Structure 1
Amino acid sequence: MINSVTLVGNLTQDTESKVFQNGSSIAKNTIAVNRKYQLNGEWVSEPTFISLTFNGYLVDKAKALSKGDKVAINGY
């Protein structure tokens, strides 16, 4: 059994990409996910920032994303 996670949030910056001498490339960004919970009967919203790194065919898709875009990321 493999655990998986789905994150839904907004990108905090424009996607940065880098191409290496061997021709491979990566793209990086950060997603802000709001966590909501009750504390003493009142709802609290707290952001969590998660770094993302894309490689392979996902680099071109990630380069089309920019700051503020709402995304859903699924991984394991």
Structure 2
Amino acid sequence: MLNRVVLVGRLTKDPDLRYTPNGIAVANFTIAVNRPFSNNQGNQDADFINCVVWRRAAENLANFMKKGSQVGVDGRLQSRSFDNQEGKRVFVTEVVADSVQFLENKGSGSSNDSNNQSSGGQSNSFADEGEPIDITDDDLPF
């Protein structure tokens, strides 16, 4: 059996970074992925895909990417359900990311390096190369 998802899209909002009670980082994010064809009006529609990533990859995503940033996601599709506050069963389908590749510099492709500095005056390690990073197996949630 195979459950593999590979997506390239843009973040629709800043990633939502949180921590479990045990201190494990988890980031929820949504990416807009253009469809490979146009609709009847000649416009290209997009699908909005909910994703989740864990541990250091979650922290890296939240620290270096923001709304509009282009990312590549490699992971698996997962379905789950839970009872909401009203007691109603809610079904969720999302991509659990094994890795997230940063396809742009911080600043959504800005060529001005002064915009590519992280807060606190620290240098952004992506400012000069602009190349994707590899996430190691240590960053995976399983």
Matching of residue 72 in structure 1 with residue 38 in structure 2: no
Contact 1:36 1:43 in 2 (8 A): no
Q: Return the structure number with greater relative CO, CA threshold 8 A, min gap 6.
A: 1
CA contact 2:25–2:56 (8 Å) conserved in 1: no
Work out which of the two has the higher radius of gyration on C-alpha atoms and give 1 or 2.
2
Give 4+ residue runs of structure 1 displaced > 4 Å after superposition: none
CA drift at 1:71: 0.8
Q: RMSD in angstroms over aligned alpha carbons?
A: 2.0
- Taking only the aligned residue pairs, the percentage that are identical comes to 33
Q: Which residue of 2 aligns with 1:60?
A: 59
The structure that is helix-richer by fraction is: 2
2:44 corresponds to 1:18: no
Amino acid corresponding to residue 51 of structure 1 in structure 2: N
Unaligned runs of 5+ in 1: none
Distance 1:34 1:60, change over 3 A: same
1:37 alignment partner in structure 2: 37
Write 1 or 2 for the structure with the bigger share of strand: 1
Q: What number of residue pairs does the alignment pair up?
A: 75
Gap regions ≥5 residues in structure 2: 77-142
TM-score (norm 2): 0.46
Distance between the aligned counterparts of 1:23 and 1:70, measured in 2? 28
